[in-house]
A = this chain, B = another copy of it.
Amino acid sequence: MRELVFIGLGLNDEKAISIRGLEETQTADSVFMELYTSLLPGFSLERFEAMSGKKVRMVSRRNLEEENGRLILDATERGKAVFLVPGDPFMATTHVTLRIEAKKRDIKTRIVHGASIISAVIGLSGLHNYKFGKTVTVPFPENFSETPYNVVSENKSLGLHTLCLLDLKPDENRFLSVKAGLELLLAVEQKRKKGAVTPDTLAIGIARVGGESPSLKADYAKNLLTYDFGGPPQSLILPGELHFMEVEALIAFAGAPEKLRGVL
């Protein structure tokens, strides 16, 4: 039976993989990895190869998207292939395409899950998961779009929080910062004036979730613009209506202004 196992690397570094994920890698006949859909800032390929006892073949965006993952699919002819990806597999839609392609070729696929930025950022923030609306990605300035602003605005009108992922291209060493993400939202506010993201809007910036020293700060947008979050990857949350327990969590862990208590 030809077989391809998608394995989530989790967040930040090589020790975020699950025990099962490592075991599947140790018993694989071919091992592939991509590190272009997200950044694992503490990841060492050398340490991962030592842990797994396997030589890892790095896959580029071009390998995967232009060649339909032929490299990986062909490898299943020589036994079990594993494909290691940052976070939880299939949060990146490009890997769904590869999985469908495998199915067409009658290759069995399995998934070993990993920690995802989606749940980790929400958990770290102390906000309640069931109060988040649609997630959106804020693009680089050259791909400027009003969509992120509209998603925040729509979620807010329903009382919901918005997780704004910030675009990144690790293969080009480019990462959108909390500051740049907020600036895009504030620029659209200038035009649309819905009041969804003003300098006085509470926002939460998060950096390097899953790492030894994640950075987390809740403050008004104007103050976050000058806050030093350190290196990438970074994310942004625009909260909707806050439960009093969420306010307590933001004050305790994200240094939110204490006067937030009075607003409820």
Contacts and interface: CB of A to CB of B under 8 A. Distances in A.
A242 interface: no
Interface stretch (A11-19, A57-65, A191-199): A11-19
Contact of A93 (B119, B128, B132): B128
Nearest to A18: B16
Interface of A: 8, 10-11, 13-20, 22-23, 51, 87-91, 93, 96-97, 99-100, 103-104, 111, 113-116, 118-120, 122-124, 126, 128-137, 154, 158, 160, 209-210, 245, 248-249, 252-253
Nearest to A19: B15
A130 B134 contact: yes
B132 A135 contact: yes
A137 B128 CA distance: 13
18 contacts: A15-B18, A15-B20, A16-B18, A19-B19, A88-B120, A91-B119, A91-B123, A96-B126, A96-B245, A99-B252, A113-B115, A113-B209, A114-B115, A116-B116, A116-B119, A129-B135, A130-B137, A132-B134
A253 B115 CA distance: 22
Give the oligomeric copy count. Answer: 2
Contacts of A158: 134, 154
B51 A19 contact: yes
Given A113-B10, A130-B134, A100 B252 contact: yes
A64 to B, nearest CB: 15
A157 B63 CA distance: 38
A8 B122 CA distance: 14
B15 A23 contact: yes
A180 to B, nearest CB: 19
Given A103-B253, A118-B119, A119-B119, 7 more contacts: A8-B115, A10-B115, A14-B19, A90-B122, A91-B119, A113-B115, A113-B120
A147 B201 CA distance: 29
Given A18-B18, A100-B252, A129-B91, A123 B119 contact: no
A134 B160 contact: yes
A248 to B, nearest CB: 6
A133 B130 CA distance: 10
A20 B16 CA distance: 6
